[in-house]
Structure 1
């Protein structure tokens, strides 16, 4: 009888350790998610005279912009005039755009949401040499959703930054 109680205690202790371990893992995952989201800067404002709402989300060389209901993605800066910029999300296909501006970018944004890294290549204005960059997409979806929420809260004449 004492052995049966000991076996039950061992099983119960094992179950408690397993639950505690899962709880610690869940807390670590939540913390990692918060840190990843924090690596993305978001700024939203209203241009009152143009009746335009704008949100910009940025990390390193990658910028996502929402202007009213139009989305664009921009890579890098100071591009060589009329040069092509290439991006590749993880091991996907190469996507090209002139001078780093991807217009009507929802298909690109959808890929960014599912990706882990975006690799980019573009030519600098002065040097003409290739610039190769890698940006982690950790937290991208959370940040994009946060940007959408901030955009919905914008109203003309609100306390948002008005220009």
Structure 2
């Protein structure tokens, strides 16, 4: 069932999401879907929970530059997945049209952001970034350009671009006291 939801989002997006097509794809009656998931938001929420279980593993290379490079590469690869792109576009739609789904997808993003915060906190403990380095700003420095490329401009999120983002973040945050 959830695979059918993912396929629907990838092919049609949330704005044109139809429960009827989900039922047809899954080979069940529409009433069966509504019994288990009363709204399309419930369907997407369940699919999102499954998607979140494929979360990114946070790297621990032993250095801030290594962690940033590894994370940027993994985050870019994650965003290249069709379903991840569909969910990012769903967040944009939900921000204006579906408050309940927006809140659910934002909670999913906060959980991912919490994992990334740990990279920054670890770098602070090693004095590789300044003590006042804001983890949320670092997250936005990484996610902003990559999500923009994926959702807004629909340009390729290739390894070269991810590497450029990583080098920008390293240059902006790496503390002189933490350098070799």
Shorter-chain TM-score tier: under 0.3
Structure of higher CA gyration radius: 1
Whichever structure has more strand as a proportion of its residues is 1
Where is the helix percentage greater, Structure 1 or Structure 2?
2
